Structure 1
Amino acid sequence: MKKYIVAFDGLKYSESVRDYAIQLATQNNAHLIGVFLDDFMHHSYKIAELLKQDGEFEAKRKKYEQKDEKMRDQSVSDFEKACQHASLTYSLHRNKCVAIQELLHESIFADLLLIDSTETLTSYTEKIPSMFIRDLLSGVYCPVILVPHSFKPINKVILLYDGEPSSVHAIKMLSYTLDALKQLPTTVLTVKADDETLHFPDNKLLKEFLKRHFPKAQYTALKGAPETEIINYLKREKEGIFIALGAYSRSAVSRWFRTSMADVLMKEMKYPLFVAHT
Protein backbone atom coordinates (compact mmCIF):
# COMPACT_ATOMS: atom_id res chain seq x y z
CA MET A 1 0.00 0.00 0.00
CA LYS A 2 1.34 3.40 -0.99
CA LYS A 3 1.33 6.49 1.20
CA TYR A 4 -0.10 9.68 -0.29
CA ILE A 5 -0.11 12.97 1.58
CA VAL A 6 -2.46 15.83 0.77
CA ALA A 7 -1.61 19.28 2.09
CA PHE A 8 -4.22 21.83 3.17
CA ASP A 9 -4.32 25.34 4.49
CA GLY A 10 -7.24 24.94 6.87
CA LEU A 11 -8.06 28.64 6.50
CA LYS A 12 -8.47 28.30 2.71
CA TYR A 13 -9.60 24.69 2.47
CA SER A 14 -9.64 23.31 -1.07
CA GLU A 15 -12.44 20.87 -1.88
CA SER A 16 -10.86 20.23 -5.28
CA VAL A 17 -7.62 19.03 -3.67
CA ARG A 18 -9.67 16.84 -1.32
CA ASP A 19 -11.60 15.27 -4.20
CA TYR A 20 -8.53 14.56 -6.36
CA ALA A 21 -6.70 13.07 -3.38
CA ILE A 22 -9.58 10.80 -2.44
CA GLN A 23 -10.17 9.66 -6.02
CA LEU A 24 -6.51 8.82 -6.66
CA ALA A 25 -5.97 7.20 -3.26
CA THR A 26 -9.07 5.04 -3.76
CA GLN A 27 -8.11 4.01 -7.30
CA ASN A 28 -4.54 3.17 -6.32
CA ASN A 29 -5.19 1.50 -2.95
CA ALA A 30 -3.19 4.13 -1.06
CA HIS A 31 -3.30 5.26 2.54
CA LEU A 32 -4.13 8.98 2.53
CA ILE A 33 -2.75 11.40 5.09
CA GLY A 34 -4.30 14.83 5.43
CA VAL A 35 -1.53 17.25 6.36
CA PHE A 36 -3.06 20.41 7.77
CA LEU A 37 -0.49 23.20 7.81
CA ASP A 38 -1.61 25.16 10.88
CA ASP A 39 1.49 27.37 10.74
CA PHE A 40 1.60 29.51 13.90
CA MET A 41 2.64 32.51 11.78
CA HIS A 42 -0.29 32.17 9.34
CA HIS A 43 -3.61 33.89 10.10
CA SER A 44 -6.71 34.82 8.14
CA TYR A 45 -6.35 38.38 9.40
CA LYS A 46 -3.60 40.95 8.84
CA ILE A 47 -1.81 42.29 11.89
CA ALA A 48 -1.50 45.71 10.26
CA GLU A 49 -5.27 45.90 9.78
CA LEU A 50 -5.86 44.80 13.37
CA LEU A 51 -3.61 47.56 14.69
CA LYS A 52 -5.68 50.16 12.85
CA GLN A 53 -8.85 49.19 14.71
CA ASP A 54 -9.92 50.93 17.88
CA GLY A 55 -9.94 48.99 21.14
CA GLU A 56 -7.70 46.54 22.95
CA PHE A 57 -5.35 44.80 20.54
CA GLU A 58 -4.87 41.55 22.50
CA ALA A 59 -8.58 40.99 23.06
CA LYS A 60 -9.34 41.40 19.35
CA ARG A 61 -6.38 39.26 18.32
CA LYS A 62 -7.60 36.47 20.62
CA LYS A 63 -11.07 36.67 19.06
CA TYR A 64 -9.61 36.35 15.55
CA GLU A 65 -7.39 33.46 16.66
CA GLN A 66 -10.43 31.60 17.99
CA LYS A 67 -12.21 32.17 14.69
CA ASP A 68 -9.21 30.79 12.79
CA GLU A 69 -9.05 27.73 15.02
CA LYS A 70 -12.73 27.02 14.38
CA MET A 71 -12.18 27.29 10.60
CA ARG A 72 -9.25 24.87 10.80
CA ASP A 73 -11.27 22.39 12.85
CA GLN A 74 -14.11 22.55 10.33
CA SER A 75 -11.66 21.83 7.48
CA VAL A 76 -10.31 18.78 9.29
CA SER A 77 -13.84 17.57 9.98
CA ASP A 78 -14.83 17.92 6.31
CA PHE A 79 -11.77 15.93 5.20
CA GLU A 80 -12.48 13.16 7.69
CA LYS A 81 -16.12 12.87 6.64
CA ALA A 82 -15.16 12.72 2.94
CA CYS A 83 -12.60 9.96 3.59
CA GLN A 84 -15.09 7.98 5.67
CA HIS A 85 -17.75 8.36 2.98
CA ALA A 86 -15.28 6.96 0.44
CA SER A 87 -14.37 4.06 2.81
CA LEU A 88 -10.75 5.18 2.54
CA THR A 89 -8.02 4.46 5.07
CA TYR A 90 -6.64 7.79 6.22
CA SER A 91 -4.73 9.64 8.95
CA LEU A 92 -4.42 13.26 10.09
CA HIS A 93 -1.33 15.36 10.77
CA ARG A 94 -1.78 18.87 12.14
CA ASN A 95 1.53 20.70 11.88
CA LYS A 96 1.78 23.97 13.79
CA CYS A 97 5.41 24.79 12.98
CA VAL A 98 6.77 26.56 9.88
CA ALA A 99 4.65 25.16 7.04
CA ILE A 100 7.26 24.77 4.29
CA GLN A 101 9.73 23.03 6.61
CA GLU A 102 7.07 20.68 7.93
CA LEU A 103 5.78 19.76 4.47
CA LEU A 104 9.24 19.14 3.03
CA HIS A 105 10.00 16.90 5.99
CA GLU A 106 6.73 14.99 5.50
CA SER A 107 7.58 14.48 1.83
CA ILE A 108 10.66 12.40 2.74
CA PHE A 109 8.33 9.67 3.97
CA ALA A 110 5.67 9.86 1.24
CA ASP A 111 5.17 8.33 -2.19
CA LEU A 112 3.16 11.30 -3.47
CA LEU A 113 2.05 14.77 -2.39
CA LEU A 114 -1.05 16.66 -3.58
CA ILE A 115 -1.51 20.40 -3.08
CA ASP A 116 -3.44 23.34 -4.54
CA SER A 117 -1.49 24.88 -7.42
CA THR A 118 -2.19 28.39 -6.06
CA GLU A 119 -1.28 27.68 -2.44
CA THR A 120 0.45 30.57 -0.65
CA LEU A 121 0.08 29.84 3.10
CA THR A 122 -0.38 33.57 3.60
CA SER A 123 -3.35 35.90 3.81
CA TYR A 124 -2.05 37.74 0.74
CA THR A 125 -2.61 37.12 -2.96
CA GLU A 126 0.53 36.22 -4.90
CA LYS A 127 1.44 35.71 -8.53
CA ILE A 128 1.39 32.11 -9.75
CA PRO A 129 3.45 30.19 -8.81
CA SER A 130 3.65 31.53 -5.26
CA MET A 131 6.87 31.60 -3.28
CA PHE A 132 5.54 28.71 -1.22
CA ILE A 133 4.99 26.52 -4.31
CA ARG A 134 8.40 27.47 -5.74
CA ASP A 135 10.12 26.53 -2.49
CA LEU A 136 8.14 23.30 -2.29
CA LEU A 137 8.92 22.15 -5.83
CA SER A 138 12.59 23.01 -5.46
CA GLY A 139 13.08 21.00 -2.29
CA VAL A 140 10.41 18.27 -2.19
CA TYR A 141 11.47 14.63 -1.80
CA CYS A 142 8.58 12.94 -3.61
CA PRO A 143 6.49 13.59 -6.72
CA VAL A 144 3.90 16.36 -6.46
CA ILE A 145 0.48 16.81 -8.05
CA LEU A 146 -0.50 20.46 -8.40
CA VAL A 147 -4.28 20.57 -8.37
CA PRO A 148 -6.57 23.10 -10.13
CA HIS A 149 -9.53 24.80 -8.47
CA SER A 150 -12.23 22.60 -9.96
CA PHE A 151 -12.36 18.81 -9.84
CA LYS A 152 -12.79 16.86 -13.08
CA PRO A 153 -12.52 13.05 -13.23
CA ILE A 154 -9.29 12.04 -14.98
CA ASN A 155 -9.82 10.28 -18.31
CA LYS A 156 -6.58 10.91 -20.24
CA VAL A 157 -2.85 11.21 -19.48
CA ILE A 158 -0.37 13.42 -21.32
CA LEU A 159 3.33 12.69 -20.80
CA LEU A 160 5.63 15.60 -21.70
CA TYR A 161 8.91 14.24 -23.07
CA ASP A 162 12.04 15.95 -24.33
CA GLY A 163 14.51 13.06 -24.42
CA GLU A 164 16.31 14.07 -21.23
CA PRO A 165 16.63 11.67 -18.25
CA SER A 166 14.51 13.93 -16.04
CA SER A 167 11.46 13.66 -18.29
CA VAL A 168 11.83 9.85 -18.40
CA HIS A 169 12.19 9.84 -14.61
CA ALA A 170 8.88 11.70 -14.27
CA ILE A 171 7.19 9.06 -16.45
CA LYS A 172 8.67 6.31 -14.28
CA MET A 173 7.51 7.95 -11.07
CA LEU A 174 4.02 8.41 -12.47
CA SER A 175 3.92 4.73 -13.40
CA TYR A 176 5.13 3.63 -9.97
CA THR A 177 2.94 5.90 -7.85
CA LEU A 178 -0.33 5.99 -9.84
CA ASP A 179 -0.90 2.52 -11.24
CA ALA A 180 -4.54 3.09 -12.12
CA LEU A 181 -3.72 5.85 -14.62
CA LYS A 182 -1.66 3.48 -16.78
CA GLN A 183 -4.77 2.00 -18.36
CA LEU A 184 -6.12 5.36 -19.53
CA PRO A 185 -5.61 6.74 -23.05
CA THR A 186 -2.14 8.27 -23.03
CA THR A 187 -0.36 10.74 -25.31
CA VAL A 188 3.41 11.19 -25.24
CA LEU A 189 4.04 14.76 -26.38
CA THR A 190 7.31 16.25 -27.57
CA VAL A 191 8.26 19.50 -29.31
CA LYS A 192 11.07 19.71 -31.87
CA ALA A 193 12.86 22.71 -33.33
CA ASP A 194 11.84 23.80 -36.83
CA ASP A 195 15.07 22.43 -38.30
CA GLU A 196 14.71 19.01 -36.63
CA THR A 197 12.87 15.89 -37.76
CA LEU A 198 9.73 14.75 -35.99
CA HIS A 199 11.44 11.60 -34.69
CA PHE A 200 11.26 11.15 -30.93
CA PRO A 201 14.61 11.20 -29.11
CA ASP A 202 15.68 7.60 -28.36
CA ASN A 203 12.54 6.49 -30.14
CA LYS A 204 13.16 2.72 -29.98
CA LEU A 205 14.15 2.68 -26.30
CA LEU A 206 11.30 5.00 -25.34
CA LYS A 207 8.62 2.87 -27.00
CA GLU A 208 10.16 -0.33 -25.66
CA PHE A 209 9.89 1.12 -22.14
CA LEU A 210 6.46 2.70 -22.44
CA LYS A 211 4.91 -0.43 -23.94
CA ARG A 212 5.41 -2.05 -20.52
CA HIS A 213 4.12 0.89 -18.47
CA PHE A 214 1.57 2.76 -20.59
CA PRO A 215 0.23 0.19 -23.08
CA LYS A 216 -2.28 2.65 -24.58
CA ALA A 217 0.34 5.32 -25.35
CA GLN A 218 0.23 7.22 -28.62
CA TYR A 219 2.87 9.66 -29.81
CA THR A 220 2.57 13.27 -30.95
CA ALA A 221 5.45 15.49 -32.08
CA LEU A 222 5.05 19.22 -32.63
CA LYS A 223 7.38 21.85 -34.05
CA GLY A 224 8.10 25.30 -32.61
CA ALA A 225 8.67 26.87 -29.20
CA PRO A 226 7.74 24.40 -26.43
CA GLU A 227 6.11 26.99 -24.14
CA THR A 228 3.82 28.08 -26.99
CA GLU A 229 3.13 24.76 -28.71
CA ILE A 230 2.38 22.79 -25.55
CA ILE A 231 -0.05 25.38 -24.20
CA ASN A 232 -1.83 25.62 -27.57
CA TYR A 233 -2.06 21.83 -27.73
CA LEU A 234 -3.51 21.58 -24.23
CA LYS A 235 -6.10 24.26 -24.95
CA ARG A 236 -7.50 22.02 -27.68
CA GLU A 237 -7.90 19.11 -25.27
CA LYS A 238 -11.15 18.28 -23.54
CA GLU A 239 -11.59 18.30 -19.77
CA GLY A 240 -10.21 15.49 -17.65
CA ILE A 241 -6.57 15.37 -18.76
CA PHE A 242 -3.65 14.75 -16.40
CA ILE A 243 -0.20 16.13 -17.31
CA ALA A 244 3.21 14.76 -16.27
CA LEU A 245 6.25 17.06 -16.29
CA GLY A 246 9.97 16.55 -15.61
CA ALA A 247 12.46 18.42 -13.45
CA TYR A 248 11.78 21.69 -11.66
CA SER A 249 14.61 23.98 -10.57
CA ARG A 250 17.25 21.32 -9.93
CA SER A 251 20.78 21.02 -11.31
CA ALA A 252 19.81 18.35 -13.84
CA VAL A 253 16.99 20.27 -15.48
CA SER A 254 15.69 19.08 -18.83
CA ARG A 255 16.59 21.03 -21.96
CA TRP A 256 13.22 22.77 -22.24
CA PHE A 257 11.23 21.54 -19.21
CA ARG A 258 12.86 24.22 -17.16
CA THR A 259 11.31 26.37 -14.46
CA SER A 260 9.62 28.61 -17.02
CA MET A 261 7.75 25.66 -18.58
CA ALA A 262 6.35 24.51 -15.25
CA ASP A 263 5.44 28.10 -14.40
CA VAL A 264 3.59 28.56 -17.69
CA LEU A 265 1.61 25.37 -17.11
CA MET A 266 0.71 26.47 -13.58
CA LYS A 267 -0.48 29.88 -14.77
CA GLU A 268 -2.67 28.18 -17.37
CA MET A 269 -3.81 25.70 -14.76
CA LYS A 270 -6.98 23.83 -15.69
CA TYR A 271 -5.60 20.34 -15.22
CA PRO A 272 -3.70 18.40 -12.57
CA LEU A 273 0.05 18.67 -13.10
CA PHE A 274 2.34 15.85 -11.95
CA VAL A 275 5.87 17.13 -11.25
CA ALA A 276 8.83 14.90 -10.42
CA HIS A 277 12.54 15.55 -10.48
CA THR A 278 15.63 13.41 -9.99
Structure 2
Amino acid sequence: MKKILLVLDAAHIDTEIIHFACNFASLSHSTLTGLFYGNYEEEQPEVKMEFGAPYIEEPPVYSMGPNITLQQLEEHMTQFKSTCAVRGVRCDVHFDNTSYGSESIITESRFADFLIIKASATRERKLKDTPTPFVKDVLAAAECPVLVAPASLSEIKEIVFAYDGSRSAVFAIKQFTYLFPELSDKKAVVLQVNKDEDMPVTEQEHMGKWLRLHYSSIGFQVLQGKASEELFAYLYDRQHAIVVMGSYGRNGLSELIKPATASPLLKTINLPFFITHC
Protein backbone atom coordinates (compact mmCIF):
# COMPACT_ATOMS: atom_id res chain seq x y z
CA MET A 1 0.00 0.00 0.00
CA LYS A 2 1.31 3.42 -0.94
CA LYS A 3 -1.50 6.02 -0.68
CA ILE A 4 -3.95 6.60 2.18
CA LEU A 5 -6.66 9.27 2.03
CA LEU A 6 -7.80 10.96 5.23
CA VAL A 7 -11.05 12.94 4.93
CA LEU A 8 -10.89 16.05 7.11
CA ASP A 9 -13.32 18.87 7.85
CA ALA A 10 -11.50 22.04 6.76
CA ALA A 11 -13.29 24.04 9.46
CA HIS A 12 -12.33 21.86 12.44
CA ILE A 13 -8.90 20.25 12.68
CA ASP A 14 -9.09 16.84 14.38
CA THR A 15 -5.65 15.90 15.69
CA GLU A 16 -6.84 12.58 17.12
CA ILE A 17 -7.86 11.14 13.77
CA ILE A 18 -4.70 12.54 12.15
CA HIS A 19 -2.59 10.59 14.66
CA PHE A 20 -4.82 7.55 14.09
CA ALA A 21 -4.26 7.78 10.34
CA CYS A 22 -0.54 8.32 10.90
CA ASN A 23 -0.46 4.97 12.71
CA PHE A 24 -1.69 3.22 9.54
CA ALA A 25 0.62 5.24 7.32
CA SER A 26 3.63 4.43 9.51
CA LEU A 27 2.63 0.79 9.67
CA SER A 28 2.45 0.46 5.88
CA HIS A 29 5.10 3.07 4.97
CA SER A 30 2.45 4.94 2.96
CA THR A 31 1.90 8.56 2.03
CA LEU A 32 -1.00 10.16 3.90
CA THR A 33 -3.09 12.61 1.87
CA GLY A 34 -5.22 15.00 3.89
CA LEU A 35 -8.40 15.49 1.85
CA PHE A 36 -9.91 18.67 3.30
CA TYR A 37 -13.53 19.31 2.37
CA GLY A 38 -15.62 22.46 2.74
CA ASN A 39 -17.22 25.29 0.82
CA TYR A 40 -15.90 28.75 0.30
CA GLU A 41 -16.80 31.64 -1.90
CA GLU A 42 -15.03 34.90 -2.54
CA GLU A 43 -16.75 37.82 -0.91
CA GLN A 44 -16.53 40.78 -3.23
CA PRO A 45 -15.06 43.88 -1.59
CA GLU A 46 -17.51 46.68 -1.09
CA VAL A 47 -16.77 49.79 -3.13
CA LYS A 48 -17.62 53.08 -1.40
CA MET A 49 -17.34 56.71 -2.27
CA GLU A 50 -15.58 59.31 -0.15
CA PHE A 51 -14.69 62.86 -1.13
CA GLY A 52 -15.99 62.11 -4.60
CA ALA A 53 -13.58 59.19 -5.16
CA PRO A 54 -14.24 55.42 -4.97
CA TYR A 55 -12.31 53.23 -2.54
CA ILE A 56 -12.34 49.61 -1.36
CA GLU A 57 -13.23 49.37 2.30
CA GLU A 58 -11.65 45.94 2.89
CA PRO A 59 -9.53 43.50 0.87
CA PRO A 60 -11.16 40.35 -0.54
CA VAL A 61 -11.98 37.74 2.10
CA TYR A 62 -12.56 34.04 1.45
CA SER A 63 -15.02 32.35 3.74
CA MET A 64 -15.95 28.71 4.30
CA GLY A 65 -19.36 28.76 5.84
CA PRO A 66 -19.83 31.02 8.83
CA ASN A 67 -16.73 30.12 10.85
CA ILE A 68 -13.62 29.74 8.69
CA THR A 69 -11.47 31.89 6.45
CA LEU A 70 -8.88 30.95 3.88
CA GLN A 71 -6.20 31.83 6.42
CA GLN A 72 -7.67 29.35 8.91
CA LEU A 73 -7.80 26.68 6.21
CA GLU A 74 -4.12 27.22 5.50
CA GLU A 75 -3.38 27.03 9.23
CA HIS A 76 -5.23 23.71 9.48
CA MET A 77 -3.35 22.31 6.49
CA THR A 78 -0.08 23.44 8.06
CA GLN A 79 -1.05 21.74 11.33
CA PHE A 80 -1.79 18.53 9.44
CA LYS A 81 1.60 18.66 7.72
CA SER A 82 3.36 19.41 11.01
CA THR A 83 1.70 16.46 12.76
CA CYS A 84 2.71 14.14 9.94
CA ALA A 85 6.28 15.50 10.02
CA VAL A 86 6.54 14.85 13.76
CA ARG A 87 5.32 11.29 13.20
CA GLY A 88 7.76 10.80 10.32
CA VAL A 89 4.93 10.27 7.80
CA ARG A 90 5.10 11.47 4.20
CA CYS A 91 2.06 13.61 3.47
CA ASP A 92 0.17 15.61 0.89
CA VAL A 93 -2.92 17.85 1.01
CA HIS A 94 -5.88 18.34 -1.26
CA PHE A 95 -8.78 20.74 -0.81
CA ASP A 96 -12.28 19.99 -2.10
CA ASN A 97 -14.40 23.16 -2.23
CA THR A 98 -17.20 21.71 -4.32
CA SER A 99 -20.84 21.80 -3.32
CA TYR A 100 -22.50 19.52 -0.81
CA GLY A 101 -21.59 16.14 -2.26
CA SER A 102 -19.07 13.35 -2.09
CA GLU A 103 -18.16 13.32 -5.79
CA SER A 104 -14.65 14.70 -5.35
CA ILE A 105 -13.87 12.23 -2.56
CA ILE A 106 -15.13 9.34 -4.69
CA THR A 107 -12.93 10.49 -7.57
CA GLU A 108 -9.90 10.68 -5.27
CA SER A 109 -10.68 7.21 -3.90
CA ARG A 110 -10.35 5.76 -7.39
CA PHE A 111 -6.65 6.47 -7.25
CA ALA A 112 -5.99 5.56 -3.62
CA ASP A 113 -5.38 2.32 -1.74
CA PHE A 114 -7.34 3.12 1.38
CA LEU A 115 -9.61 5.86 2.76
CA ILE A 116 -10.23 6.91 6.37
CA ILE A 117 -13.28 8.94 7.37
CA LYS A 118 -14.90 9.67 10.71
CA ALA A 119 -18.49 8.46 11.18
CA SER A 120 -19.53 12.01 12.12
CA ALA A 121 -18.07 13.68 9.00
CA THR A 122 -20.65 15.98 7.43
CA ARG A 123 -21.12 18.97 5.16
CA GLU A 124 -24.17 20.07 7.09
CA ARG A 125 -23.96 22.74 9.77
CA LYS A 126 -25.56 20.55 12.44
CA LEU A 127 -24.79 16.92 13.20
CA LYS A 128 -28.09 15.01 13.26
CA ASP A 129 -27.02 11.37 13.31
CA THR A 130 -24.12 9.03 12.65
CA PRO A 131 -23.15 7.73 10.26
CA THR A 132 -24.11 10.92 8.46
CA PRO A 133 -25.66 10.94 4.96
CA PHE A 134 -22.31 12.24 3.74
CA VAL A 135 -20.47 9.21 5.16
CA LYS A 136 -23.13 6.82 3.81
CA ASP A 137 -22.66 8.29 0.34
CA VAL A 138 -18.90 7.76 0.58
CA LEU A 139 -19.36 4.18 1.79
CA ALA A 140 -21.79 3.29 -0.96
CA ALA A 141 -19.70 4.66 -3.82
CA ALA A 142 -16.05 4.60 -2.71
CA GLU A 143 -13.69 2.91 -5.15
CA CYS A 144 -11.21 1.78 -2.52
CA PRO A 145 -11.59 0.20 0.93
CA VAL A 146 -12.94 2.58 3.60
CA LEU A 147 -12.22 2.68 7.31
CA VAL A 148 -14.94 4.42 9.31
CA ALA A 149 -13.35 5.79 12.46
CA PRO A 150 -15.34 6.09 15.72
CA ALA A 151 -15.55 9.09 18.04
CA SER A 152 -12.62 7.92 20.17
CA LEU A 153 -9.71 5.89 18.86
CA SER A 154 -7.35 3.40 20.45
CA GLU A 155 -4.63 0.91 19.62
CA ILE A 156 -5.68 -2.10 17.54
CA LYS A 157 -4.99 -5.47 19.18
CA GLU A 158 -7.68 -7.65 17.60
CA ILE A 159 -9.23 -8.10 14.15
CA VAL A 160 -12.87 -9.23 13.93
CA PHE A 161 -13.85 -10.56 10.49
CA ALA A 162 -17.65 -10.41 10.08
CA TYR A 163 -18.11 -13.46 7.87
CA ASP A 164 -21.27 -14.83 6.25
CA GLY A 165 -19.77 -17.13 3.63
CA SER A 166 -20.44 -14.62 0.85
CA ARG A 167 -18.04 -13.56 -1.87
CA SER A 168 -18.20 -10.00 -0.51
CA ALA A 169 -17.14 -11.05 3.01
CA VAL A 170 -14.22 -13.12 1.71
CA PHE A 171 -13.13 -10.24 -0.52
CA ALA A 172 -13.12 -7.85 2.47
CA ILE A 173 -11.00 -10.27 4.52
CA LYS A 174 -8.49 -10.64 1.69
CA GLN A 175 -8.33 -6.91 0.99
CA PHE A 176 -7.67 -6.07 4.63
CA THR A 177 -5.02 -8.79 4.88
CA TYR A 178 -3.24 -7.67 1.70
CA LEU A 179 -3.28 -4.02 2.74
CA PHE A 180 -2.00 -4.65 6.26
CA PRO A 181 0.35 -7.66 6.36
CA GLU A 182 2.03 -5.88 9.28
CA LEU A 183 -0.96 -6.86 11.47
CA SER A 184 -0.27 -10.57 11.10
CA ASP A 185 0.67 -10.85 14.78
CA LYS A 186 -2.72 -9.57 15.97
CA LYS A 187 -5.45 -11.92 17.17
CA ALA A 188 -7.89 -12.63 14.30
CA VAL A 189 -11.45 -13.83 14.96
CA VAL A 190 -13.83 -15.00 12.23
CA LEU A 191 -17.33 -14.18 13.47
CA GLN A 192 -20.42 -15.74 11.92
CA VAL A 193 -24.05 -15.39 12.95
CA ASN A 194 -26.39 -18.27 12.07
CA LYS A 195 -30.12 -18.65 12.53
CA ASP A 196 -29.72 -22.45 12.56
CA GLU A 197 -28.12 -23.59 15.80
CA ASP A 198 -26.53 -26.64 14.16
CA MET A 199 -25.07 -24.90 11.11
CA PRO A 200 -21.25 -25.05 11.08
CA VAL A 201 -19.05 -22.14 10.08
CA THR A 202 -19.29 -21.89 6.30
CA GLU A 203 -16.13 -23.17 4.61
CA GLN A 204 -14.30 -23.07 7.94
CA GLU A 205 -11.60 -25.49 6.82
CA HIS A 206 -10.73 -23.52 3.69
CA MET A 207 -10.90 -20.17 5.47
CA GLY A 208 -8.82 -21.48 8.37
CA LYS A 209 -6.08 -22.75 6.10
CA TRP A 210 -5.88 -19.47 4.24
CA LEU A 211 -5.89 -17.33 7.37
CA ARG A 212 -3.16 -19.41 9.00
CA LEU A 213 -0.90 -18.45 6.10
CA HIS A 214 -1.29 -14.80 7.11
CA TYR A 215 -2.01 -14.65 10.86
CA SER A 216 -0.28 -16.21 13.84
CA SER A 217 -3.44 -16.47 15.96
CA ILE A 218 -6.91 -17.15 14.53
CA GLY A 219 -10.19 -18.34 15.97
CA PHE A 220 -13.78 -18.96 14.91
CA GLN A 221 -16.86 -17.76 16.75
CA VAL A 222 -20.38 -18.84 15.78
CA LEU A 223 -23.40 -17.06 17.22
CA GLN A 224 -27.06 -18.07 16.84
CA GLY A 225 -29.80 -15.55 16.25
CA LYS A 226 -30.52 -12.42 14.25
CA ALA A 227 -27.34 -11.05 12.73
CA SER A 228 -27.83 -7.41 13.69
CA GLU A 229 -28.64 -8.21 17.32
CA GLU A 230 -25.94 -10.82 17.87
CA LEU A 231 -23.24 -8.79 16.16
CA PHE A 232 -24.15 -5.76 18.25
CA ALA A 233 -24.03 -7.76 21.49
CA TYR A 234 -20.68 -9.32 20.57
CA LEU A 235 -19.03 -6.01 19.72
CA TYR A 236 -20.65 -3.77 22.33
CA ASP A 237 -18.06 -4.10 25.10
CA ARG A 238 -15.11 -4.85 22.85
CA GLN A 239 -12.06 -2.62 22.93
CA HIS A 240 -8.87 -2.34 20.85
CA ALA A 241 -10.51 -4.16 17.92
CA ILE A 242 -11.17 -3.39 14.27
CA VAL A 243 -14.19 -4.86 12.46
CA VAL A 244 -13.88 -5.99 8.83
CA MET A 245 -17.10 -6.17 6.79
CA GLY A 246 -18.11 -6.67 3.17
CA SER A 247 -19.95 -4.33 0.80
CA TYR A 248 -22.09 -1.48 2.02
CA GLY A 249 -25.18 -0.29 0.15
CA ARG A 250 -24.93 -2.78 -2.72
CA ASN A 251 -27.58 -5.21 -3.97
CA GLY A 252 -27.62 -8.87 -3.06
CA LEU A 253 -26.06 -8.50 0.38
CA SER A 254 -26.64 -10.90 3.22
CA GLU A 255 -28.48 -9.81 6.35
CA LEU A 256 -25.15 -9.38 8.13
CA ILE A 257 -23.89 -6.53 5.98
CA LYS A 258 -27.00 -4.72 4.81
CA PRO A 259 -27.08 -0.97 5.56
CA ALA A 260 -29.86 -1.73 8.06
CA THR A 261 -27.28 -3.71 10.04
CA ALA A 262 -24.12 -1.75 9.37
CA SER A 263 -25.55 1.73 10.05
CA PRO A 264 -26.70 1.00 13.64
CA LEU A 265 -23.34 -0.63 14.34
CA LEU A 266 -21.44 2.39 13.04
CA LYS A 267 -23.68 4.61 15.18
CA THR A 268 -23.42 2.77 18.49
CA ILE A 269 -20.23 0.68 18.49
CA ASN A 270 -17.09 2.66 19.30
CA LEU A 271 -14.78 0.67 17.04
CA PRO A 272 -13.25 1.30 13.63
CA PHE A 273 -15.02 -0.49 10.74
CA PHE A 274 -13.17 -1.55 7.57
CA ILE A 275 -15.68 -1.84 4.70
CA THR A 276 -15.00 -2.62 1.06
CA HIS A 277 -16.77 -3.57 -2.17
CA CYS A 278 -16.07 -6.42 -4.54
TM > 0.5 between the two? yes
Identity %: 24
Alignment pair present for 1:40 and 2:40: yes
Q: How does 1:68-87 map to 2 (within 5 A)?
A: 68-87=69-88
Seen in structure 2, the aligned counterparts of structure 1 residues 63 and 7 have a Cα distance that, compared at 3 Å, is closer
Alignment pair present for 1:247 and 2:271: no
- The runs of 5 or more residues in structure 2 that have no matched partner are 42-57
In structure 2, what is the Cα distance between the partners aligned to 1:78 and 1:167? Answer: 37
Shift of 1:255: 4.0
One-letter code of the match for 1:173?
Answer: Q
Question: What count of residue pairs does the alignment treat as equivalent?
Answer: 259
In structure 1, what is the Cα distance between the partners aligned to 2:225 and 2:72? Answer: 48
Q: How does 1:1-278 map to 2 (within 5 A)?
A: 1-40=1-40, 65=64, 67-98=68-99, 99-193=101-195, 195-237=196-238, 239-278=239-278
Moved over 4 A (4+): 61-66
Of stretches 105-114 and 169-178 in structure 1, the one that deviates more from structure 2 is: 169-178
Greater strand proportion: 2
In structure 2, what is the Cα distance between the partners aligned to 1:90 and 1:62? Answer: 28
The CA RMSD measured in Å over matched residues stands at 2.1
Q: Does the 8 Å contact 2:61/2:69 carry over to 1?
A: no
Of stretches 184-193 and 174-183 in structure 1, the one that deviates more from structure 2 is: 174-183
One-letter code of the match for 2:146?
Answer: V
Shift of 1:271: 0.9
Q: Give 3-state SS (helix, strand or coil) of 1:12's partner.
A: coil
Q: Does the 8 Å contact 1:5/1:35 carry over to 2?
A: yes
Shift of 1:73: 2.2
Seen in structure 2, the aligned counterparts of structure 1 residues 96 and 236 have a Cα distance that, compared at 3 Å, is closer
Q: Give 3-state SS (helix, strand or coil) of 2:257's partner.
A: coil
Q: Give 3-state SS (helix, strand or coil) of 1:183's partner.
A: coil
Q: Does the 8 Å contact 2:236/2:269 carry over to 1?
A: no
Of stretches 158-167 and 72-81 in structure 1, the one that deviates more from structure 2 is: 72-81
In structure 2, what is the Cα distance between the partners aligned to 1:92 and 1:134? Answer: 23
- The runs of 5 or more residues in structure 1 that have no matched partner are 42-58
Relative contact order higher in (CA < 8 Å, ≥ 6 apart): 1
Shift of 1:14: 2.3
Shift of 1:107: 0.2
In structure 2, what is the Cα distance between the partners aligned to 1:125 and 1:187? Answer: 34
Q: Give 3-state SS (helix, strand or coil) of 1:213's partner.
A: coil
Shift of 1:126: 2.2
Greater helix proportion: 1
In structure 2, what is the Cα distance between the partners aligned to 1:73 and 1:266? Answer: 31
One-letter code of the match for 1:172?
Answer: K
| Cα distance per residue 1:53-112 (max 9 Å; x no partner) | xxxxxx9x9586584323322321221111000111111112222451110000000000
Q: Give 3-state SS (helix, strand or coil) of 1:35's partner.
A: strand
Q: Give 3-state SS (helix, strand or coil) of 1:135's partner.
A: helix
Seen in structure 2, the aligned counterparts of structure 1 residues 253 and 188 have a Cα distance that, compared at 3 Å, is same
